Chains A and B, each alone.
Chain A
Amino acid sequence: MTALIEKLLPETSGSGDGFDRLRRAARSVLLEHGLPHRKTENWRYTPLSVLEAREFSGTRSVASDEALPELPSSVEGVLHLHDGALDPARCHLPEGTVLTGLVPSDVDTDALERGGPNDAFAWLNLTALEQGWRLHIDRSLNAPLALVMSFSEDFAGIVHPRLVVELAAGARAELVQVEHGAGEGLINAVIDVRLGAGARLLHAIERTGGATAIIQRIRAVVGADAEYRAFVLDGGGVMTRQDLVVELTEAGARGEIRGSAVLSQRSLVDYHTAIHHRVGPSQSREDFRILADDRATGVFNGRILIVPGADYSRSEMHTGNLLLSDQARVNIKPELEIHAEEVSASHGATIGQLDDLARFYLRSRGLSDAEAIALLKYGFAAAAFEGLDEEDEPLAEWLRQRMSHYLGDRR
């Protein structure tokens, strides 16, 4: 066992709560395969050195009454995790939602039988499972629901929240997930999203890791004629790794990922997305952008898989990347694996610097060089959220304001 696994593993406990078997199985699989390292393909550009260098402690604080982070004004209902722990008494849930504790049958054991070091952190999450949560949404919600993960300034622990979000057939909802890191701990979360037939979820993720290491796996299983859309805004952090897998499992399923990562200082942010067309006709669209400044590193891997028989699948994937300094880095890999017929799949990737002609154009209209640069940076990041329907505009506008904040503008 490496020193790092030993540091990350929870102490073994057999609390007889029904999760014992799962915890033990996960622990054994994790020890067998180990943690990812530089030779693990999907972790090549994301070393674990931040975790190796940290001393974690077990302390956790109780959620204080401190103000929640800035949320869209239209939000009704908040699920609040503080230092990784959810206190149901402090949650405000709207009509049509039910929060219950996870039971062992909620956990996808398939993942224990397959996989390798790529899944290490998901297995780690399972080794520590004591209290997970299931949020069931049984009807359309009139207003967005917030999922807030906040941290104390002295947070130095390792926490493993596990959440299942389920939408009943036909239900529509907006989930605004806000994570603002503080303290020098690690949050290793697993979120399973399940969409019934015709359900539609807009999952907005607004995060900045700060000094908190964030490792998270989201897996969305999309049913017939259902739709999962993720809108991601990342303001950077010491180490953020998001795996986002969208499974289009039945005819008419749709998946969309729009994201902008605005990275500065020494941020290291890694988004590994995968959209699996398991059946046709199914549709996906992805537009992910990274702006990297100072000594920041952005990693993006966008995988589209269209399995044999998933005929009439359509997918579009684009990644745009802007380097703003000599030391900034991006490592990007679009992947397209197509095994079906009558498929339309396009992908594009661009990496570049600020366009000199655009900069001249803006200055020739009267903007200073600094204003021109700021506008071009903002435009690049904001373009990920263009072309939306009217109903999505309020949430998109909130994301754009947060984006301006991360870019240092006061708009």
Chain B
Amino acid sequence: MLNIKDLHVTVGGEEIIKGLNLSVGAGEMHAIMGPNGSGKSTLGYALSGRDGYEVTSGSVQFDGRDLLELEIEQRAAAGLFLALQYPVEIPGVNNAYFLRAALNAQRKARGESEIDSMAFLKTVRAELAQLKMDEALLKRAVNEGFSGGEKKRNEIVQLAVLQPKLAILDETDSGLDIDALKLVAEGVNRLRDGQRSFIVITHYQRLLDYLKPDRVHVLSDGRIVESGDQGLAERLEREGYAFLEPGEA
């Protein structure tokens, strides 16, 4: 599904990702952990194509296509989704309207027909109910006045509606209490169908207890320095990142 080879990314003149390699197969969930400043969010932004995140060398193959050749919205239509660490508020733009417009834009780009509005509402309402979110949030502006937890859950609603092939979750667990964390994890797990892939970027092991990823990687100073299974996450939880000092990696 995703094949990243020797990726180098520069932000504001500084190289943040310094030769990253990662392969994610269809249906797999990979977790990426790492200290602050290691480049975790940068990876998510670079893969989505955000301006200011300059790929200086390396390649990314996504579902058989050269991802780096695509515009931001083309990457979305190709099946890439990034759940932001700090979801953006868009005053004046209705939440439901925006989601339907986004879905239809993607469908149009793929040569599919527009979604039936009744079917759309049914899907959204069902997802809101599962995430224990008030339907009233559909009538509000995107993320405006939402609590931190509601914003994160709103990202999962988008994920459920847009049905991407690869979802990158950037610290989706940060700022969540235990109950909200469980809801988010359940929401993500509901979308695991053996074909959809996930990259879960997180600081803490707790989310991974619920998600049970297939692989865990540690990102440090712009490179993946260690990979393993969930046992690696547990070790990091116990020992911190210190064990990754030069000589260990």
CA distance A382 to B93 in the complex (A): 8
CB distance from B128 to the nearest CB of A (A): 17
CA distance A366 to B88 in the complex (A): 15
Report if B158 contacts A (CB, 8 A): yes
Which among A357, A364, A381, A386 is the interface contact of B72 at CB below 8 angstroms? A364
Range for the number of chain A residues in contact with chain B: 20 to 34
Q: Which of B87, B91, B141, B158 has the most CB of A within 10 A?
A: B91
Q: Are A361 and B84 interface neighbours, CB within 8 A?
A: yes
Mark out the residues of chain B between 70 and 87 whose CB falls within 8 Å of any chain A CB in the assembled complex: 71-73, 75-77, 81-82, 84, 87
**Neighbouring B residues of A22 by C-beta, 8 Å:** none
Which among A365, A368, A371, A383 is the interface contact of B92 at CB below 8 angstroms? A383
Which among B82, B91, B109 is the interface contact of A364 at CB below 8 angstroms? B82
Q: Are A365 and B93 interface neighbours, CB within 8 A?
A: no
Q: Are A383 and B91 interface neighbours, CB within 8 A?
A: yes
Q: Are B91 and A361 interface neighbours, CB within 8 A?
A: no
Q: A360-B72, A379-B141 are in contact. Are A366 and B162 (CB under 8 A)?
A: yes
Q: Are A375 and B93 interface neighbours, CB within 8 A?
A: yes
Q: Are A379 and B73 interface neighbours, CB within 8 A?
A: no
CB distance from A72 to the nearest CB of B (A): 20
Report if B4 contacts A (CB, 8 A): no
Q: Are A366 and B92 interface neighbours, CB within 8 A?
A: no
CB distance from A394 to the nearest CB of B (A): 16
Q: A376-B90, A379-B91, A379-B141 are in contact. Are A367 and B73 (CB under 8 A)?
A: yes
**Neighbouring A residues of B92 by C-beta, 8 Å:** 378-383, 386
Report if B46 contacts A (CB, 8 A): no
Inter-chain contact count A-B, CB under 8 Å?
Answer: 81
Closest A residue to B109 by CB, please name it. Answer: A366
Closest B residue to A360 by CB, please name it. Answer: B50
Q: Are A368 and B90 interface neighbours, CB within 8 A?
A: no
CB distance from A409 to the nearest CB of B (A): 12
Classify the secondary structure of A's interface with B. Answer: helix
**Neighbouring B residues of A375 by C-beta, 8 Å:** 90, 93, 98, 101
**Neighbouring A residues of B51 by C-beta, 8 Å:** 356, 360
Report if B172 contacts A (CB, 8 A): no
Q: Are A367 and B105 interface neighbours, CB within 8 A?
A: yes
**Neighbouring B residues of A361 by C-beta, 8 Å:** 84, 87-88, 90
Report if B106 contacts A (CB, 8 A): yes
CA distance A383 to B144 in the complex (A): 11
**Neighbouring A residues of B103 by C-beta, 8 Å:** 366
Report if B48 contacts A (CB, 8 A): yes
**Neighbouring B residues of A362 by C-beta, 8 Å:** 90, 98, 102
**Neighbouring B residues of A383 by C-beta, 8 Å:** 91-92, 141
Closest B residue to A403 by CB, please name it. Answer: B92
Q: A360-B51, A364-B76, A366-B103 are in contact. Are A379 and B88 (CB under 8 A)?
A: no
Supply 8 further A-B pairs (C-beta < 8 A) apart from A371-B105, A379-B92: A358-B90, A360-B51, A361-B87, A363-B76, A365-B98, A366-B76, A367-B105, A379-B141
Closest A-B pairs by Cβ, 3 of them: A379-B92, A383-B92, A366-B106
Query: Can you list 15 residue pairs at the A/B interface with Cβ under 8 Å?
Result: A358-B88, A362-B90, A362-B98, A363-B73, A365-B162, A366-B103, A366-B109, A367-B101, A368-B73, A369-B71, A371-B101, A375-B98, A379-B90, A379-B92, A380-B92
- A interface residue numbers (CB < 8 A to B): 355-358, 360-369, 371, 375-376, 378-383, 386
